[in-house]
Amino acid sequence: MRTKLPKAILYVTILLVVFWAYGYISGTMQDHVIPEQGEVQLTKEEGHDLATMAAYIQPKNWEYYPEQLYTPADFEKGETIGPVIEGDEPVVTKYGTYRLRIQLPPDRIYAVTGQNFSQSQRLYIDGKLMGSIGAPGNSEENTVPGSKNYYYIFFSEKSEIELVFQCANFNCAGGNPNKSLHIGEYQVIESLNVRRTFGNFVLLGAA
């Protein structure tokens, strides 16, 4: 009986730590933001401080270009068709391009992070390819899915940045990929990722 009690206390303590970690991530560490017509205002004038709190950008009201895999160069040249603005009811297609413009303080080091499950995506920030998960294509045959978290760091000297996601999802029900993400100054996103990793580690250890 004496040996079981300390183990029970330890188990409860681990669970409390896990709940605290995930609660902290979903609460004080992020500010939920819904885009409007493909744009997001993340300035102090709009009540946001990316130096102290990450912004969780929800997957609504992005510009969406269904069944087109556009690059930033295509937008710069005006060689695009669309877009569709997704609301609560997403436009369901197997591949396409998402675009979002974000206003934020200039001359800062920022980071973006998000999750990708069994889909493929390619992310550009201000015309620069940040990375790919799998390989998005316009058919199942030339699409390579992938599953991983992404974490990209970049410097912006401008007060507006452009995010372009090329996405494809031929192997999951529902079609449309997950495009929600966190953005903030580098140290905020780094802290968010550390807490997320720690929470996952503790959760796996308690299982």
What is the amino acid identity at position 177? P
Mean pLDDT of all residues in 12-29: 54
Mean pLDDT of all residues in 76-104: 86
pTM above 0.85, yes or no: no
Mean pLDDT of all residues in 22-46: 78
Of 42, 84, 36, which Cα lies nearest the Cα of 61? 36
Report the chain's mean pLDDT, rounded to a whole number.
Answer: 83
**Residue 104, pLDDT above cutoff 80:** yes
Residue 111 burial (CB < 10 Å; 0-12/13-18/19+)? buried
Q: 11 with 205: CB under 8 angstroms?
A: no
Mean pLDDT of all residues in 116-141: 91
**Residue 202, pLDDT above cutoff 60:** no
**Residue 75, pLDDT above cutoff 70:** yes
**Residue 26, pLDDT above cutoff 50:** no
Mean pLDDT of all residues in 18-30: 53
185 — pLDDT class (breaks 50, 70, 90) = very high
Of 134, 132, 130, 133, which Cα lies nearest the Cα of 153? 130
**Residue 121, pLDDT above cutoff 80:** yes
188 — pLDDT class (breaks 50, 70, 90) = very high
Q: 202 with 10: CB under 8 angstroms?
A: no
27 — pLDDT class (breaks 50, 70, 90) = very low
